[in-house]
Amino acid sequence: MNSDQYTVVINGKPQGPYNLTELKGLNISANTFIRKPGMDDYKEAHAIPELRELLGFSYQKTAPQYFAAFDQRLLASVIDHFIIFGFYTVIILTSYIFIEGKDQRIMAFLVPFPSIFIVKLIYGSIAEASKSQATIGKKLLNIKVTDLEGSRVSFSISLVRNFSKILSVIPVFFGYLYSFLNRKNQCWHDIAANTLVIKDRLI
């Protein structure tokens, strides 16, 4: 393939290749995803210098267009809770070496149980503000947390986002289900913190 030929994502599917002259007739926008030989992944048209010059686009830092679906986010959260619960269980079982009696062991398991959610809050806030912008669960699903422009968030914003999940839980998890009604798949806690959850790759 020649270096001046481009693959264009149209209606969610890659089409082409097209040369520069053919691209002019496609009525592409600044946010259309395009790839050419030598590129590792698709980029928005305005991010490719020769297309920006040819089509008159101004470079803009725009929000990613491929938002993580609810099922991806849910599975990532389940994975994170499972991992934390696994560590919790190992610690409690280890404590049984020093605890005798059925009732005492049951209490030893149940009383610290809320700490799982506190650990998840702290861990999630740190991980999503880190360079990877994701917890282990999100990494496995290839999704990450960003601000509205697709950039890394600060720890304070990440903390607000994770703490605000109580808004998404009450009432009846509607704040999570709201993502089906939001074009950016944002839950209430995303809206509260002005964040997005996106996939790294389009295809």
* Residue range 67-84, pLDDT digits in tens: 888 899 999 999 999 999
Amino acid at 21: T
Co-location of 124 and 152 in the same domain: yes
In a domain, 61, yes or no: no
Q: How many domains does the chain have?
A: 2
Give the CA dihedral 107, 109, 112, 116, nearest 10 degrees: -160
In a domain, 160, yes or no: yes
Average pLDDT value for residue range 133-155: 90
In the chain, % of residues over pLDDT 90: 37
Average pLDDT value for residue range 144-161: 90
Co-location of 79 and 18 in the same domain: no
DSSP 48-71: SHHHHHHHTPPP-----S-BPPHH
Q: What pLDDT, on a 0 to 100 scale, did the predictor assign at position 65?
A: 55
pTM: 0.64
Co-location of 84 and 168 in the same domain: yes
Co-location of 168 and 84 in the same domain: yes
The domain in which residue 125 lies consists of 70-199
85 pLDDT higher than 90: yes
Could you give the CA distance from residue 41 to residue 78 in angstroms, rounded to a whole number? 29
18 pLDDT higher than 80: yes
Q: What pLDDT, on a 0 to 100 scale, did the predictor assign at position 135?
A: 96
